[in-house]
Amino acid sequence: MRLGTVILISLVSIPAMSQPPADPVSTSTGILNYRPITAKQRVRWFVHLTVGLDSIPGGLLSSGWETLRDRPKEYGTHWEGFGERYGLRLTSIAAGNAMEAQLGAAWGEDPRYIRATGQPFRTRLANVAKMTVLAYGRDGQTMPAYSRYIAIPASNFLSNTWRPESDASARDASVRIALGFVGRMTHNAVEEFWPDIKHHVFRIGQPGP
């Protein structure tokens, strides 16, 4: 897969993800204005998390780093190899997010990150961490993110079937699983704090609900 193709696949969806996918707000007494996630919002969440503005830079950086390290070695250290690595990451993430969205729909698990805006900084950091492993149910109460527990491991082992041999061992998949949860926590942090940074540092827009 060539570099231009994989970058284009990511960029064509930017207009659909210009707003964060979660509208409710987490407060000290519960969730304000919570409504169960709709099918349309699940699709929006999938697009946002797969090729959102916080996913593309991460993909470019990780693909560049892996190109410098020449991992997987089958791709080489040239631009085409960079594109192959970016495409490999994109397909793996897309598979995991699709699994999480579809599985969660079966029992009403809401994969969206809901910001704890207006609360103390430590509370917001705690929200970032806990929502890495928790999700909201139809009643707006937190529950274990069962679909995530299934999707991240399953998609990483599944991706071994199309990965180069040097990157397709059980150990490689296990490392990617750990990184998958770290990546989700990073995404949560961006969702939590980026609207405030844009508003207070760059003077762009409002800090968000």
Tokens of 134: 């928790």
CB 183 within 8 A of CB 134: no
Strands 30-32 and 134-136, how do they pair? unpaired
Q: Buried b / exposed e across 39-58, counting CB within 10 Å, b at 16+?
A: eebbebbbbbbbbbebbbeb
pLDDT digits (tens, 9 = 90+) for 58-86: 889 999 999 999 999 999 999 999 999 99
Nearest to 147 by CA among 104, 194, 88: 104
Could you state, in order of their start, the residue ranges of all structural domains in the chain? 3-13+37-200
Interval 180-202: pLDDT, tens: 999 999 999 999 998 888 877 77
Pick from 50, 62, 65: nearest CA to 155: 50
pLDDT in tens, 113-147: 999 988 999 999 999 999 999 999 999 899 999 99
Say yes or no to pLDDT of 47 above 80.
yes
